[in-house]
Amino acid sequence: MVTYEREGPVAVVSIDRPEARHAIDDRTALALRDAWERFEADADADVGVLTGGPETFSAGADLEKMDLEDRSEGWLGFTRMRVSKPTIAAVEGYCVAGGLEMALWCDLRVAGESATFGCFERRFGVPLVDGGTQRLPRLVGRGRALDMILSGRPVDAAEAHDWGLADRVVDDGTAREAAVELGQSIADFPQETVRSDRAAVYDGIGESLERGLQIEALHGRRVLDVAEAGADRFAAGDGRHGAGVDERDD
């Protein structure tokens, strides 16, 4: 149904309902909620990866059961939650309807080259109620978001990458591996500032530039001791000339 595995500092949350194209019924939604609460509480997990199956990331809500409940955490179990650590969706195959909304909840999306994104619930009159109408426009812009939401058309991985919906496109079958590798590279950095900068981005969305700069300063002041320690390491010769920076062309 839902599994939670650790690969070093990366926690992998996997939806495991292949018989239903990894669609979410109420039991699975509750398991997803529990998994992300576990991730948040797991002191040794710095990055979370969400994944589904090799041919379908998730088809969204299980329309055969239609037993989801509107809880405070969201219909799909976690889409109204906010965790404090980075998250990545590893997408293979179809990432549609509520599956798309779950992927949008994540900070980043790594997609196999044959991945397909779309608001396929349009065909059945099912509304987007797990953040899709709010997160998608913030990510790709209002026009492109409305194109997807109103037309229900499929968007392939190449177009999704052009739009910024897919952050990285990799060979089919390697999205999980690539997402975990990306997560491990993020986990190598000082986590206090990774999390404070991430929080500043989210807290500043929708605010004026003036207010956003205030938010950024507030979060930045909280981790000045980490910055001072980093400056001392640099002064001692650590990281000179870009050493330690991954310069691969993704």
So what's the pLDDT on residue 169?
98
Confidence of residue 248 (pLDDT cuts 50, 70, 90): very low
Report the pLDDT value the prediction gives residue 226, as an integer from 0 to 100: 84
Of 20-24, 141-145, 236-240, the least confident: 236-240
Quick check: 109 and 88 in contact, CB under 8 A?
A: yes
Reported as a pLDDT band with limits 50, 70 and 90, residue 250 is very low
Superfamily name with CATH number, domain 2-187: 2-enoyl-CoA Hydratase; Chain A, domain 1 (3.90.226.10)
CB 78 within 8 A of CB 32: yes
pLDDT of residue 245: 55
74 has a pLDDT exceeding 60: yes
The domain spans of the chain are 2-187, 191-242
> What is the distance, to the nearest Å, from the Cα of residue 211 to the centroid of all Cα atoms in its chain?
26
- pTM, two decimals, is 0.93
Mean pLDDT for the stretch of residues 161-175:
98
% residues pLDDT > 90 (the chain): 89
Split at pLDDT 50, 70, 90, the class of 113 is very high
